[in-house]
Amino acid sequence: MATPDDEDVSEAARTRDQLDMKGDWNRRAVEDAAYYIASADPDQGDAFRGSGQRDVELYFEGLQHLLTKDKTVLDIGCGIGRMDEFVAPHVGALVGVDVSGEMVRKATERLAHIPNARFVEGDGFSLPVDDASVDIIFTHIVLQHTPRHVTASYFSDAFRALRAGGDFLFQMPEDVTGAPADPPMDDTFEMRFWSEEDLRRAISEAGFEWQSVRRFPVDSPLLKFNQLRVHAKKP
């Protein structure tokens, strides 16, 4: 008889078979990295860079004290380093991880002038770093694109990679009336909407202690919803 753990492993295996996140995001990186990272108009010049600075200020508002020179910080889904450019100057070391080797190549070239930042390619399910090797993990407008089992995999691996007392910050669109159902399993771009209750459960199952949530309203033409910024901690 299959155990729950066996079922989780089997589901994860099926998810890996159905997804081509690496291929999808390599194609997007070649086609228009700025657009797929932040829906930026390539004709707007410095707007993409400015969006990175603005999002770092908003994302870490109230939590700026976490970013100190003795910290190693990891960014899940770094893209071409849009936010990392403005996080790295405040910390000791920054590691950007992305499933797309093309994104990693562009980030490495784009931020070559920042000596404490490095960028590495991941597999789309886990983090290519040692156990208990980082102090802060953050991710913004990334996990909203991943199927729920993939998100759970990242939650578990973030717990593994963080040192005791480490901080995990992530963003997710909040489930509201009218929010669309999850897209097909092989879709690596359309958003998945989560309730706070489901996020609390998933974070707890990964081993984290919930610290806080902050809501940022989004008024899009199709749907009004909140982006949730969650702060969790590894005991």
Strand, coil or helix: what is 163?
Answer: strand
CA 58 from centre of chain: 16
Q: Confidence class of residue 232 from pLDDT cuts 50, 70 and 90? A: very high
Tens digit of pLDDT for each residue in 174-190?
999 999 999 988 877 78
DSSP reduced 3-state for 34: helix
Report, as an integer, the average pLDDT of 76-100: 97
The confidence score (pLDDT) of residue 8 equals: 43
Q: What is the mean pLDDT of the chain?
A: 88
pLDDT band at 72 (very low <50, low <70, confident <90, very high): very high
Model pTM score: 0.86
Listed by start position, the domains of the chain span 4-233
Give the confidence band of 156 by pLDDT, cuts at 50, 70, 90. very high
Mean pLDDT of 143-155: 94
Poorest-pLDDT segment among 92-96, 165-169, 194-198, 216-220: 216-220
- pLDDT tens, residue by residue, 49-70: 999 999 999 999 999 999 999 9
The pLDDT tens digits for 105-126 are 999 999 999 999 999 999 999 9
User: What band does 10 get if pLDDT is binned at 50, 70 and 90?
Assistant: very low
- Looking at residue 5, its pLDDT comes to 42
Max Cα-Cα span within the chain: 59
pLDDT of residue 33: 63
What is the dotted CATH code of the domain comprising 4-233?
A: 3.40.50.150
Q: Which residues of 30-42 are buried (b: 16+ CB within 10 A; e: fewer)?
A: eeebbebbbebee
